[in-house]
Amino acid sequence: MTEEANNSNIISTRNLSVFYGSQEAVHAINLDIPRNKIVAIIGPSGCGKSTLIRCYNRMNDLVPTARVTGEVFYNGMNIYAPNVDAVHVRRQIGMVFQKPNPFPKTIYENIAFGARVNNYQGNMDELIEKSLRQAALWDEVKDDLTKSGLALSGGQQQRLCIARALATEPEVILMDEPASALDPIATLKIEELMQELKEQYTIIIVTHNMQQASRVSDLTAFISLDRTRVDDRVGVLVEYDLTQKIFIKPAEKETEDYISGRFG
Amino acid sequence: MARELFEKKIKQIQDEILLLGSMVEQATLDSAKVFKNRDIPASKILVEEDQSINDKRFAIENAILILMATQQPLAHDLRMLASMLIVTNELERMGDYAKGIAHNTIRLGSREIPAPVRDIEKMAELGVSMLHRSLSAFIKEDIKCAVSLPAEDDEVDDLFNKCYRSIVNGMIANPAIIDDSSLLLWIVHNLERFADRVVNICERTVFIKSGEMLEMDGSNDESDVDF
Amino acid sequence: MNNKNSHNQSDFKENLNKRHALGNWFYFVLLACMLIGMFMLSALIIDLAIQGKDWLRPELITKYHSRIPEQAGMKSAIVGSLIIIALTGLFSFPLGVGAAIYLEEYSPKNWLTSFINININNLAGVPSIVYGMLGLVVFGRMFGLFKSDSWLVKLLNLPVGKSALGGLQFNLFGIPWLEIHLPFNQSLLAGALTMTLLILPVVIISSREAIRSVPSTIREAAFGLGATKWQVISKQVVPIAMPGVLTGIILSLSRAIGETAPLIIMGAFTYVPFLPKSLWDKFTVIPIQVYNWITLPQEKYRVHLAAAGILVLLAVLLSFNAIAVFLRKKLEIKW
């Protein structure tokens, strides 16, 4: 792990494997995420895409049977080292989930929550406005921030969740199929938003929608079942390259078959 | 089982391309024949028939665009459909060459001038043979054939140079036939360009398979000027 | 109906009339079940109303029990019931909710936890009289530890009362009104603690349900924002679960209001001609007062006053349930 690599890659995994009990879910993943890029993780269902992305902010800690081996370097620091506090990691690596899940509180309180639990000392009103502007939601809700978060439409709720994640001023935003529960127009808004956010943040998105991955990402990682272990369902990194390369001229036949819809 | 509908539609387009190819082949051979026989009425028919080549070209292009919009092809499928668009365009231009030859035949009328008729016929036969095999290789993605075919362009180029020399010498010897002889130049030029376009089709065949654009220009190429 | 597919139409015997008839028949059977239940309930209430309506006078609430029926009332019982319920709510809320939070959010999934779970579920079904005995021994008499001749008194040389019952009385930290009586004897405190034990299993179970019904996506989102486990629980889970928790407690309390046996066992009195002034005072509750009246020979007590007393109890019960429904509607989260 060279110093140079540390500087250009904000997150790097080395030999990352995840076990649920004795079952291996993902095996020996080595993936470098460069700063200020959007990296898409694609692959068939059940191959470990979500498991992988949840390693980045130690959300797998919440699953009692989960065990992680290998290393995940964030800015050069291994977040799975024994003295690292997961709570500290999660402030800096935020997450947006598949189904919009705003808290049953006002829009204001939704966004303020992350700041408050982390003891934010600055001006809360400014933080709320900044987060909502960055999430392209400010104009739609600025007239009434006391409205319940649940009263918004699905697309607005998801942007609220993005604003909520941005309020802790993270460096990386993880998105686990953020648009799969949304209609096409809301989906496009989220995709456009990602392009704007890219300037300040690094984004890692898991998606099963290949057109979305190709529209939105700079790099694409293809995770699929390890063909050499037929009795287990273990996910491995099959190919990782520039998006344009993966979608026009992938190196691996497995990748080619998957993206052309000729899997199985 | 996967993407049966998609595969079926691709096969339909491939059949249409082969059909377009045989239309172009026929038109080219006919254009050499009507020139040899100075058959003006037949030439006029040939000029009109170019329209059906144009129509078929647009029909194929449309089918490809629909497939791209509705099936979102990626990787190999994407390269193949994009190459089909380009090859269809090449075929239509080659059809225009045949039309150009027929056109010039009409212009020449029945005036006698020295012409390398035999060589012109040979160029047409060679070109058509190359086209036929290149299209077959294109559909089958036969790289071996596609890579070896461009070498035959050299023979066409040699014939072109020979014809060019003899026509120009004829012009120098008898300045009165310069106008008519220049029509002859265009005819042999079209046939030479015809063979060049076959080489383009071979390049696209390699591209589909490997994703690499390999330039396969022969050694004796002329500049790209059409009539 | 013309059908182009190859199924032989006679393969489907449909039997429409028979199937609809069966459905209708069942509808009437179910309706009858409901009506029977309703009928019995209405009959009871109407009977009570007829027997007791003349005796629903202010005296019922303003007077104590008396040997003269026209001057008898249930003032002390009503006040006793209300105080017992209030104290029971006060004690069971933190204990029940705390236990529920621990069991749902913190306890590891091992055999010990399963063992505890099974026991809590069992305790919810234990007859209430058992809780009465428990209350008597543990709170009322404290295992006899404060009798004059107990080993503890002898060991620590405690200044117990002179009689055989003994009993320790002192002021905590010397503060005059922080009086402590050990054991609790037949006081309001003992009664409230007994009732707390009675409803605790149900409170725990319903609070756990409420906590469990908080969507896991909320917890995930809160953790994802960098909240600690306690922050997630205290700032998201518990507030969202609170309507369910409160409804559970109020419904448990409304059951506790009607409990007679445990309080009789642990020593609530039947004749209390005064209002309790402190936690250590004797008390009575509405069901016990009604029970007392029913056992008296005079018809005025046995039939009419008792009916009136039951109507008062039902009124208190209904208002509790109404509060529960109101709170639930008001605090409900529309996802």
Q: What angle do CA B6, B78, B193 make, to 5 degrees?
A: 115
Domain count of the fold of chain B: 1
State yes or no: chains A and C have 3 or more CB pairs below 8 A. Answer: yes
Domain boundaries, chain A: 3-259
ipTM for the complex? 0.93
Q: How many residues does chain C have?
A: 335
Check whether residue C277 and residue C235 sit in a common domain. Answer: yes
The architecture CATH gives domain A3-259: 3-Layer(aba) Sandwich (3.40)
Residue (of C82, C44, C51) closest to C293 by Cα position: C51
SS3 per residue for A65-106: CEEEEEEEEECCEECCCCCCCHHHHHHHEEEECCCCCCCCCE
Check whether residue C154 and residue C253 sit in a common domain. Answer: no
What CATH number does residue B116 fall under?
1.20.58.220
C-beta atoms of C226 and A150 within 8 A: no
Instruction: Tokens 């509607």: give the residue.
Output: C329
Least CB–CB distance from A62: residue in C108, C223, C225:
C223
Least CB–CB distance from B77: residue in A210, A260, A263:
A260
Check whether residue C168 and residue C206 sit in a common domain. Answer: no
pLDDT over 90 at C300, yes or no: no
Residue C302 is predicted with a pLDDT of 87
Q: What dihedral do alpha carbons B42, B48, B49, B55 form, nearest 10°?
A: 180
pLDDT over 80 at A17, yes or no: yes
Higher pLDDT, B1 or C26: C26
Between CA C130 and CA A146 the distance in angstroms is: 51
**Mutate which: B4, B10, B71, B76, vs A, most A CBs within 10 A:** B76
Q: What is the mean pLDDT of residues B8-19?
A: 96
Between CA B100 and CA B225 the distance in angstroms is: 13
For B62-87, the pLDDT digits (tens) are: 999 999 998 889 999 999 999 999 99
| Mean pLDDT (chain C, rounded) | 89
Q: Give domain status of residue C29, yes or no.
A: no
Q: Is the dihedral of CA C283, C286, C290, C291 positive or negative?
A: negative
Q: Give domain status of residue C227, yes or no.
A: yes
C34: buried, middle or exposed (CB in 10 Å: 19+, 13-18, 0-12)? exposed
Closest chain A C-alpha to B124 CA, distance in angstroms: 37
pLDDT over 80 at A14, yes or no: yes
Domain count of the fold of chain C: 2
C-beta atoms of B74 and A260 within 8 A: yes
Residue B49: enclosing H or E segment and its boundaries?
helix B40-71
Range of the domain at C207: 53-140+185-331
Both tokens of A11, joined, read 């997150």
Strand partners, A39: A204, A219
Q: Is the dihedral of CA C138, C144, C146, C147 positive or negative?
A: positive
A214 touches chain B (CB under 8 A): yes
Check whether residue C121 and residue C217 sit in a common domain. Answer: yes
Residue C161 is predicted with a pLDDT of 78
**Mutate which: A238, A248, A256, vs B, most B CBs within 10 A:** A248
Q: Is the dihedral of CA B89, B95, B97, B100 positive or negative?
A: negative
Q: Give domain status of residue B93, yes or no.
A: yes
C54: buried, middle or exposed (CB in 10 Å: 19+, 13-18, 0-12)? exposed
Helix (H, G, I), strand (E, B) or coil at B103: helix
Residue B208 is predicted with a pLDDT of 95
- What is the C-alpha radius of gyration for chain C, rounded to an integer number of angstroms? 27
C-beta atoms of B76 and A256 within 8 A: yes
pLDDT over 80 at A263, yes or no: no
**C279 falls in which pLDDT band (50, 70, 90)?**
confident
Q: Give domain status of residue B217, yes or no.
A: no
Q: What is the mean pLDDT of residues C54-59?
A: 83
**Mutate which: C216, C225, C231, C335, vs A, most A CBs within 10 A:** C225
Range of the domain at B39: 4-210
**C3 falls in which pLDDT band (50, 70, 90)?**
low
Between CA A71 and CA A77 the distance in angstroms is: 9
Q: Within a 13 Å sphere around the CA of B162, how many CA atoms are in the beta-carbon half?
A: 14
pLDDT over 70 at B218, yes or no: no
Q: Give domain status of residue C203, yes or no.
A: yes
Between CA C101 and CA C234 the distance in angstroms is: 10
A40 touches chain B (CB under 8 A): no
For B146-202, the pLDDT digits (tens) are: 999 999 999 999 999 999 999 999 999 999 999 999 999 999 999 999 999 999 999
Proportion of chain A above pLDDT 90, given as a percent: 89
Check whether residue C171 and residue C232 sit in a common domain. Answer: no
C-beta atoms of A248 and B74 within 8 A: yes
A217 touches chain B (CB under 8 A): no
pLDDT over 60 at C234, yes or no: yes
Nearest residue on chain A to B69, judged by CA atoms?
A: A211
Q: Give domain status of residue C64, yes or no.
A: yes
C-beta atoms of C240 and A104 within 8 A: yes
Residue C252 is predicted with a pLDDT of 93
Write out chain B residues lying below 8 Å of A264, CB-based: 2
Pairing of the two strands A219-225 and A38-42:
parallel
Q: Give domain status of residue C14, yes or no.
A: no
State residue B167 phi and psi, 5-degree precision. -65, -45
Residue A1 is predicted with a pLDDT of 42
pLDDT over 90 at B33, yes or no: yes
Q: Give domain status of residue C33, yes or no.
A: no
Q: How many residues does chain A have?
A: 264
Q: Give domain status of residue B25, yes or no.
A: yes
C-beta atoms of A117 and C226 within 8 A: yes
Q: What is the mean pLDDT of residues C82-96?
A: 94
